[in-house]
Amino acid sequence: MKYLIHLAIMAIIISCTGRKEKVEMIETVSIIPIPDSFTYSTNSFVLNPATKIYSPKENKVEAEFLQMLIKNEFDFTVSIQSSECESNCIKLTTSNLPDSSYHGAEAYHLIIEPNQITINGQSNEGLFWGIQSLNQVFNQTDHQDGYAARIQGLNILDQPKFKHRGLLLDCCRHFFSKEVIKKYIKLLSYYKMNILHWHLTEDQGWRIEIEKYPELTEHGAWRIESDGSKYGGFYTKKDIQEIVAFASEHQVTIIPEIELPGHSQSAISSYPYLSCEQKKVSVANDWGVFKEIYCAGNDSTFDFIENVLKEVMELFPSEYIHIGGDEAPKYRWEKCSKCQKRMVSENLNDEHELQSYFIRRIETFLNAHNKKLIGWDEILEGGLSPNATVQSWRGIEGGMHAAENEHYAIMSPTSHCYIDYPLDAIDLKKVYSFNPIPDSLSKDKQHYILGGEVNMWTEHVPDEKNLDNKVFPRMLALSEVLWSGTDTSRYKNFRNRVYNHFHVLDSLGVSYGAEAIPITLITTGDSTYITKNNRGIDLQYQVEMEDCTMKFQQYESPVYTNKDCILKARAVKNQMPYGETIEQQFCEKAKSVKSISYRTMYSENYVGGGNYGLLDGKLGSLNFRDGNWQGFWGKHAEVTIEFENQQLINQISAQFYHYINSWIFRPESVEVFTSENGINWISKGNTRTEIQKKTRGKMIVPMTINFKNPLHVKYIKMKAQNILQVPGWHEAAGADAWLFIDEIKIR
């Protein structure tokens, strides 16, 4: 009886559809990225099992994809036919769009009317993106009794601003299964991203099977962790063929990255003859930049790379091969007789030009096989290869320089596109503010900017859940920037659409994170304010001092923080903690400061609160990107403080950062001087630390100078000696070293 009732309902729906019944409705649909032209209609289309997909033979693949989407979403199957239909059908066509301004291959026109849904693509690519927009509408449609759904009427004309819209996924620092790669291809496609930049070789693991060199995966794909466990994995050729085919079905191109000449320790560990010293080394089990790189003076190195690339090119149909080219320390080359001989024979002035020679030689090989080369912006150093495309990560300057010289560029600067960074450095709004085209780039050169990528490096991302948490929802911001263009005025609208997509991401199995740090601490004068960044949350705080600690309590007014204490703040949602608790350590600030000046300026990338950041009472944490640390690259730090009037001082101290994986070293020494006039200085003491240069791990190193007798001073100067260059025993030997300093405490 129940079955007969269902059949009766189904017959009524079909008959109503046949009578072209007009249904008034407006249900908000959130499409990401936002279409260029979007209007609603008050009429809806009723989708049911009797609906037909009309598709010419040339659109068969897209028709079958749509058929699958409907089956997955509504649990019924619609048929595909090659004959025209007038009602209750979805028509898929490829032809010129009605508005001639939409003429790119990826342009499409989607119309949802009572009698039919029409998707017309300028090409099969455009048709596919139109289907994905319809897919997003499906995912936000209320289902009705399992046999039909009313699809909101609308009209969309759309096309992307940039042709290269990508995600870099590092599978070397941590390995991700074939299923995870497919999941991400599906998600990229859903949000109209069309590039998966697949990072496959690295110091910490070689992830692609190469038949000619089996040791690359038998040995180089595995590392011994510090606890003695074995970690790794790799993709077989069969895996890669399957993944590439899956990507093709979703209009996603995979660009493989085979790193050279640096970031190659796993290959050198497998075949030591590839290095300058030709000595056995381990696959790296730590993060950072390592001095073992391919020998540029040995022709067998190039034979190896070319043989690897031949097999890579057979697997990936992409017109591009990414060769890395970044962070290649020259220490080994400087001391290698073969490399020095190569420099003489090729008339090269220095090791930077030797790297350029290396890249040009590989590019010539790729070009001979009808492939194009992409490299990180370091490939600009020593001279750019003739046809290379530059991926700009150290800011936008490298990409701009490439475009000015009529080379194509892809933008993915650390400032906006490194989504392995924490939310306090790059949140959803920061990514959304990114403009891939520099304001100063002339209009006639702007077409050389192909687009951009968000980069997902996985040093600290060990599993799929953490990966999802980092990538989403921040990737959605770049998907809209690259498809729809930069427009920060619509951020609030975008954020609301992201909220509407959280249930979609849930259904797609994505363990997404927050769009921003839920709360922010703002210190003004002697007080700190706690503000909300997300809606629907309450605020709590706790203050810890040496002699007492209060319990978390409701935040109502600014907290006095000009004292030695730790302020903890958290968001609460539905009476439960939401997101991570924020901690900020404070100290009593120096009194009566008139001015502070620097002999050498801190890096613009690590300003630590600006000129008075060293005296603001906020102490840096173990996250050196927390905004409190000032960084000095390849130079000493010398800071002079002038007081309003003479101060009685018996101690001065500062804290420094030590993390040699990121080339940050504690100072060689710290010396303090005083002066009555700011001209004549007297040394009042110096100190060194017991922390050794080679000590691994992140640590904060306090350094203090106590005066035997209290001093009345008008001026005080602190000099911190940077080691200047990374030592020879280090993986990045010869590179400039960082010195990081935070709060100067004066007692």
Look at 143 and 664; give whichever has higher pLDDT: 664
CB atoms within 10 A of CB 281: 15
Query: What's the rounded Cα separation, in Å, for the pair 91 and 226?
Result: 59
Q: CB under 8 Å to 605, separation ≥6 — which residues?
A: 631
Q: State which H helix or E strand residue 480 sits in.
A: helix 474-484
Q: Which residue has the higher pLDDT, 347 or 381?
A: 347
Query: Which tokens in the block code for residue 502?
Result: 């959280």
What span, in angstroms and rounded, lies between the C-alpha atoms of 222 and 216? Answer: 9
For range 265-281, the mean pLDDT? 97
Tokens (6 digits) for 52: 């037909």
For position 289, what pLDDT does the model report?
86
Q: How far apart are the first and last CA of the chain?
A: 88
- Gyration radius of the chain's alpha carbons: 30
- In tens, the pLDDT along 310-352 reads 999 999 999 999 999 999 989 999 999 999 999 999 999 999 9
- Residue 482: closest CA among 53, 126, 194: 194
Per-residue pLDDT tens for 126-141?
999 999 999 999 999 8
The residues pairing with 11 across neighbouring beta strands, listed in sequence order, are none
Contacts with 273 (C-beta within 8 Å, 6 or more apart), sequence order: 298, 300
pLDDT value for 210: 98
User: pLDDT tier at 549 (50, 70, 90 boundaries)?
Assistant: confident
Sign (positive or negative) of CA dihedral 499, 501, 503, 505: negative
| Secondary structure tally for the chain: helices H, strands E | 17, 35
Tell me if 421 sits within 8 A of 381, measured CB to CB. Answer: no
Rounded CA-CA distance 416/454 in Å is 8
How many whole angstroms separate alpha carbon 208 and alpha carbon 176? 13
Judged by DSSP in three states, 356 sits in helix
Q: Report how far residue 620's alpha carbon sits from residue 524's, in angstroms, rounded to the nearest whole number.
A: 17
Q: What is the pLDDT of residues 697-728, one digit of tens each?
A: 899 999 999 998 888 999 999 999 999 999 98
Predicted model pTM: 0.83
% pLDDT > 70, the chain: 96
Which tokens is 456 given? Answer: 């997902």
Span 619-647, pLDDT tens digits: 999 999 889 999 999 999 999 999 999 99
- pLDDT beyond 90 at 145: no
Query: Tens of pLDDT along 428-486?
Result: 999 999 999 999 999 999 999 999 999 999 999 999 999 999 999 999 999 999 999 99
Residue 24 has pLDDT above 50, yes or no: yes
pLDDT at residue 13, rounded to an integer: 36
Q: What's CA 744's distance to the chain center, in Å?
A: 33
The strand pairing partners of 577, in sequence order, are 572
pLDDT computed for residue 546 by the predictor: 85
Is omega for the bond preceding 473 within 30 degrees of 0, making it cis? Answer: yes
Residue-wise pLDDT for 473-493, tens only, equals: 999 999 999 999 999 999 999
**In percent, how much of the chain has pLDDT > 90?**
81
pLDDT tens-place string over residues 384-394: 878 899 999 99
Residue 25's pLDDT band, with cuts at 50, 70 and 90, is low
CA separation (Å) from 202 to 265, 471, 726? Answer: 7, 21, 21
**pLDDT at site 15:** 37
Distance CA 517, CA 489 (A): 21
In order, the DSSP letters of 693-731 are TT--S-EEEEEEEEEEEEEEEEEEEEEE----B--TTST
pLDDT score at 699? 95
CA pair distance 536, 573, nearest whole angstrom = 7
Confidence of residue 84 (pLDDT cuts 50, 70, 90): confident
What's the pLDDT score for residue 427? 94
* Element at 143 (helix H, strand E): strand 143-144
Enumerate residues 6+ apart whose C-beta is below 8 A from 601.
none
CA angle 635, 640, 642 (to 5 degrees): 165
